[in-house]
Chain A
Amino acid sequence: MKEASLTITENSRLAASVYRMRLAGGAGDNLPGQFVNVRLPGLFLRRPISVCDFDGETLTLIYKTVGRGTELMAGLEPGAELDVLCGLGHGYDLDAPCAKPLLIGGGVGVPPLYYLAKELVKNGKAVSAVLGFNTADEVFYEEEFRSLGCAVTLATADGSRGVRGFVTDALPNGCDRFYACGPLPMLKALCGKLTIPGQLSLEERMGCGFGACMGCSVETAHGAKRVCREGPVFDREELLW
């Protein structure tokens, strides 16, 4: 964890209610699956946002405007400084044995998988990605995943782009490990359908984001764990569903 004052270099709309913010400055280390906690002017609690990409200098966040915090974020202009706690949580396991990883993202669960895909491709893996959205106008980062060399399948709930239905209707065969991030019903459905080993990233309302307040705890096979500290990424076997 590192507290950093970062400068916004980009804050642009990517799709319906979805924005990309790029931040420059000393953000420390940020690994795939980790998140940052952003302090926003006028709000008391920080807002946790998953890391979409990090190249050592520029931190990329993709977020959806779902409430006051993210709406406030969307209104910030490039040049503004933000107080950000960086490198939080326990991310995806990049060294787990697999040759053909399958990445499954739903909505704003897609962003952390982009950074993961980049690292897995770098490690010589043949990455497949299934990206699920409600409608065509919510789709983002399809091309970015393709540019990395991923085999991308799109799914939309209303059928306006790609496969009609949920990500569970669009899963390719032949993959040997999965990595998922998205809404809880999607994660549960995936665990019901997939038999390969996998890791899932959970979301929870957080107080601090670094393990102090116990606000975001989840019961696991190994006792109570903090989504912000031992998570947000958990092995599928740990989750009790």
Chain B
Amino acid sequence: MVNTKVDLCGIALDNPVIPASGTFGFGYEFAELYDINCLGTFSFKGTTREARFGNPTPRIAECTAGMINAVGLQNPGIERVISEELPKLKKVFHKPVMANVSGFSVEDYAYTCGLLDREEQVGWLEVNVSCPNVHGGGMSFGTEPRAAAEVTRAVKAVTHKPVIIKLSPNVTDIVSIARACEDAGADGISLINTLLGMRIDLKRGRPVIANTMGGFSGPAIFPVALRMVYQVSKAVSVPVIGMGGVSCAEDVIEMMMAGARAVEVGAANLVDPFAGKRIVESLPAAMEKLGIENINDIIGKAH
């Protein structure tokens, strides 16, 4: 019997597998398919202060071994997330959930996180300073160490829950941003958000995505994500959650060897709705095959 339990900022996870924000809704679409309590936890749909429709469609494009999305943080706004989505989520998921938050100003982040701090079912706050699909916010906070630190401090001031800052790979030096967040009090770092990308419709000679560009995700980005998880986890002492193109138990193990304490699974959920369950169930056998008895033993093994 192998051990898959990990500790993430003081909260125990049965396993390190976490469906990523934006690929798992508020859980209940997937709860119709399988018991989502088999997951370590999941990160719910990115929530903002006000309701958002997001960007115009088309906002999805096919890529080699991946996809581009330019959804643009569509969500019903924090008040309805608390009054409508969380009660529904609570019926199907009985573990602490990770709340994913985005904003357009430091005050937005603090306001939204302050309300979520009172929600018992929320275990961690995952603060997205890295959405590539919104203008005047999102990623702009995650591309500059001082701005990322400012958001971190503002959120830390309004909550006692662990604060995990989700970083953008669309920067020259992700390590300096991770360090700035850690110095500002972040309890964890998650990475990577999507890589800015685009496709052109050859027949029309126009971008496929209405918003021109979008976030590139899927198996194609795994090596880039792994490299950044390796760099960041070497540079910070807080827990790191690795994500980007993870689609099987072996990818989870590789991310953890690179330094991740837990691993998020994103685009894989969209093409295989059972991906989360499949990865959780195949993890013990994949560990046994490699002679890993305790998954904690491999965290940062490659350092």
Q: Is B273's CB under 8 angstroms from A44's CB?
A: no
Shortest Cβ distance from residue B258 to the other chain A in the assembled complex, whole angstroms: 23
Q: Mark B56-90, 1 if CB is under 8 A from A, else 0.
A: 01111111111101010010000000000000000
Q: Is B59's CB under 8 angstroms from A205's CB?
A: yes
Chain A residues closer than 8 Å to B271, beta-carbon distance: 39, 44-46, 208
Shortest Cβ distance from residue A160 to the other chain B in the assembled complex, whole angstroms: 24
User: Is A197 positioned at the interface, with any CB of B under 8 Å from its CB?
Assistant: no
Of the four ranges (under 10, 10 to 19, 20 to 34, 35 or more), the interface on chain A belongs to 20 to 34
Q: Mark B7-30, 1 if CB is under 8 A from A, else 0.
A: 000000000000000111100011
Shortest Cβ distance from residue A90 to the other chain B in the assembled complex, whole angstroms: 14
Q: How far is the CA of A214 from the CA of B75 in the complex (A)?
A: 9
Chain B residues closer than 8 Å to A206, beta-carbon distance: 60
Residue among B25, B218, B271 facing the most chain A CB atoms (10 A cut-off): B271
**Interface residue SS majority, chain A:** loop
Residue from the list B57, B208, B274 in contact with A216, Cβ < 8 A: B57
Residue from the list A43, A216, A229 in contact with B60, Cβ < 8 A: A216
Given the known interface contacts A44-B218, A85-B273, A208-B271, the answer about A213 and B22 at a Cβ–Cβ threshold of 8 Å is yes
Task: Name the interface residues of A38-70: CB closer than 8 Å to any CB of B.
Answer: 39, 43-46, 68-69
User: Is B54 positioned at the interface, with any CB of A under 8 Å from its CB?
Assistant: yes
Task: Name the interface residues of A195-233: CB closer than 8 Å to any CB of B.
Answer: 204-208, 210-219, 224, 229
Q: Is A215's CB under 8 angstroms from B69's CB?
A: yes
Shortest Cβ distance from residue B84 to the other chain A in the assembled complex, whole angstroms: 12
Specify the chain B residue showing the minimal Cβ separation from A213. Answer: B270
**Interface residue SS majority, chain B:** loop
Instruction: Tell me the count of chain B residues lying within 8 A, CB to CB, of chain A.
Output: 34
Chain A residues closer than 8 Å to B61, beta-carbon distance: 205
Task: Name the interface residues of B244-303: CB closer than 8 Å to any CB of A.
Answer: 267, 269-271, 273-274
Q: How far is the CA of A218 from the CA of B59 in the complex (A)?
A: 11
Chain B residues closer than 8 Å to A44, beta-carbon distance: 62-67, 218-219, 267, 271
Shortest Cβ distance from residue A226 to the other chain B in the assembled complex, whole angstroms: 9
Given the known interface contacts A44-B67, A205-B59, A217-B74, the answer about A210 and B54 at a Cβ–Cβ threshold of 8 Å is no
Q: Is B53's CB under 8 angstroms from A211's CB?
A: no
Q: Is B273's CB under 8 angstroms from A213's CB?
A: no
Given the known interface contacts A1-B33, A3-B273, A208-B273, the answer about A215 and B62 at a Cβ–Cβ threshold of 8 Å is no
User: Is B45 positioned at the interface, with any CB of A under 8 Å from its CB?
Assistant: yes
Shortest Cβ distance from residue B189 to the other chain A in the assembled complex, whole angstroms: 24
Q: Is A214's CB under 8 angstroms from B270's CB?
A: no
Q: Is B69's CB under 8 angstroms from A213's CB?
A: yes
Chain B residues closer than 8 Å to A212, beta-carbon distance: 23-25, 29-30, 269-270, 273
Given the known interface contacts A1-B32, A3-B273, A44-B271, the answer about A211 and B60 at a Cβ–Cβ threshold of 8 Å is no
Q: How far is the CA of A205 from the CA of B61 in the complex (A)?
A: 8
Q: How far is the CA of A45 from the CA of B61 in the complex (A)?
A: 9
Q: How far is the CA of A69 from the CA of B60 in the complex (A)?
A: 14
Q: Is A69's CB under 8 angstroms from B62's CB?
A: yes
Residue among B57, B63, B71 facing the most chain A CB atoms (10 A cut-off): B57
Q: Mark A125-153, 1 if CB is under 8 A from B, else 0.
A: 00000000000000000000000000000
Given the known interface contacts A44-B66, A212-B23, the answer about A207 and B57 at a Cβ–Cβ threshold of 8 Å is no
Q: Is A207's CB under 8 angstroms from B29's CB?
A: no
Q: Is B60's CB under 8 angstroms from A205's CB?
A: yes
Shortest Cβ distance from residue A223 to the other chain B in the assembled complex, whole angstroms: 8
Q: How far is the CA of A45 from the CA of B217 in the complex (A)?
A: 12
Chain A residues closer than 8 Å to B60, beta-carbon distance: 45, 205-207, 213, 215-216
5 sampled A-B residue pairs with Cβ under 8 A: A1-B273, A3-B273, A44-B62, A213-B60, A215-B59
14 additional contacts, CB 8 Å, given A69-B62, A213-B270, A214-B22?
A1-B33, A3-B273, A44-B219, A205-B57, A205-B58, A207-B67, A208-B271, A210-B29, A212-B23, A212-B270, A215-B60, A217-B74, A224-B53, A224-B54
Residues of B within 8 A of A (CB): 22-25, 29-30, 32-33, 45, 53-54, 57-67, 69, 71, 74, 208, 218-219, 267, 269-271, 273-274
